[in-house]
């Protein structure tokens, strides 16, 4: 089975899950941080409705190429998470590094300057990002980390989109995590 997404050419969900699981185990054994960034295209459905699915596919390919270029020659992984959503697993990355990478991802999409006539926030394609960083503790799993990054992504969208929001420790019932 392939580990690459057929459309974008970057890692697919299967490879992401395997990479995250291995990185989680390593972080737990070594007591080191692990970060996840989830991001997706702002107002992607209106884009597809206006420009067609082929236009949407081109957007996804361009974003994947830009993101892969940013993480090239690093121990990190960029993958297509599903639909218009992407994920980055940053093995060994502390919260400041995760935030810096997330912001570089956001800015790299903006600099592509891909027109988006139906976006209410910009005349070009933008992305919203959520990140979370933890040092694995007993009782935690990599699913918690994904969930925290997902909650941060939803906050980024609720706060206006085209931004990065990091998971805050008080967001988790067990007070773990943060960015």
Q: Which residues are catalytic?
A: 84
Q: Which two tokens stand for residue 28?
A: 């737990």
Closest CA to 66 of 6, 126, 122, 133: 126
DSSP readout, 111-165? HH--B-TT-SS-SB--EEEEEEEE---TT--HHHHHHHHHHHHHHHHHTTSSSEE
């Amino acid at each position: 089975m392939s580990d690459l997404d057929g459309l974008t050419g970057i890692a697919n969900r299967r490879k992401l899950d395997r990479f995250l699981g291995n990185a989680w185990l390593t972080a737990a054994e070594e007591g080191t941080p692990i970060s996840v960034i989830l991001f997706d295209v702002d107002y992607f459905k209106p884009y597809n409705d206006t420009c067609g699915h082929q236009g949407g596919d081109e957007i996804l390919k361009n974003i994947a190429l830009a993101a892969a270029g940013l993480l090239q020659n690093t121990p990190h992984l960029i993958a297509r998470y599903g639909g218009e959503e992407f994920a980055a697993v940053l093995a060994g990355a502390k919260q400041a590094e995760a935030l810096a990478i997330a912001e570089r991802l956001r800015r790299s999409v903006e600099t592509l300057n891909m027109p988006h006539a139906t976006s209410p926030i910009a005349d070009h394609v933008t992305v919203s990002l959520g990140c979370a960083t933890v040092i694995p503790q007993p009782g935690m799993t990599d699913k918690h980390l994904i969930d925290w990054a997902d909650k941060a992504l939803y906050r980024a969208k609720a706060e206006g989109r085209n931004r990065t929001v990091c998971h805050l420790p008080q967001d988790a019932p067990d007070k773990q995590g943060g960015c």
